[in-house]
Amino acid sequence: MKNIVLFGAPGVGKGTHALLLAEKYDLDHFSTGEMLRQEVADGTPLGLRVKSLMDRGDLVGDDVVIGLIDKAITSTDKGIIFDGFPRTVQQAQALDFLLKRHQRRLDCVISIDAPREELVRRIHERAAVSNRSDDSDEATIRHRLEEYEEKTRPVVDYYKVSGLLVSIDGSGQINQTSMRLCKVVDQIIH
């Protein structure tokens, strides 16, 4: 039962690749962004509370996200691919605690990297086909990328120290990045 974090800036393709990897390797896919967007769409009290944060491109509080992840881990006996979590060092520490409590361990953190302007272009393209409010305008997109650099990039250092971090090039076509990811996951699984 392998547990993997897929990490990277907004627009790098975490969601796309997490779904592909989950299917190929029979892993459960836990996307905190999707979980939160579903709460908003369902109009739950949590969704109403976080909607304005998400619309501005701000990160949702650690307590909310950690609670969603704890509930998700409890719901499965399969390996997991975490998509969009952890986003802060505090969340990374909480994930370590949660996995240990559930008698699991993190096997690898894969950081997908791509140039900033490519990320902005991809988010604009995604906005044309999705209904995501956080993809809606240039200011929100730039703010999300700044939030990533300020609050999420330090998570890379956290995992670098643990020896779990593997970085791959996420620029180019989806199939190119997918091949790079599969090469890493094949080494972890086998």
Q: Which of 78, 132, 142, 151 is catalytic?
A: 132
Q: What is the pLDDT of residue 136?
A: 64
As a residue count, the chain comes to 190
**180 given a catalytic annotation:** no
**105 given a catalytic annotation:** no
DSSP state of 77: S
**CA 160 → CA 46, 111, 153, 163, 164, distances in Å?**
33, 10, 11, 5, 6
Report the topology of domain 3-189: Rossmann fold (3.40.50)
**122 given a catalytic annotation:** no
**144 given a catalytic annotation:** yes
- Cβ neighbors of 184 (< 8 A, separation 6 or more) are 108, 110, 166, 168
Q: What is the pTM of this model?
A: 0.86
Q: Which of 56, 104, 126, 142 is catalytic?
A: 126
Q: Which of 14, 37, 122, 180 is catalytic?
A: 14
Mean pLDDT by 10 residues, the chain (190 residues): 93 94 97 90 89 83 90 94 92 96 96 93 84 70 87 91 95 94 93
Q: Which of 2, 122, 144, 180 is catalytic?
A: 144
**132 given a catalytic annotation:** yes
Q: Which of 2, 37, 87, 122 is catalytic?
A: 87
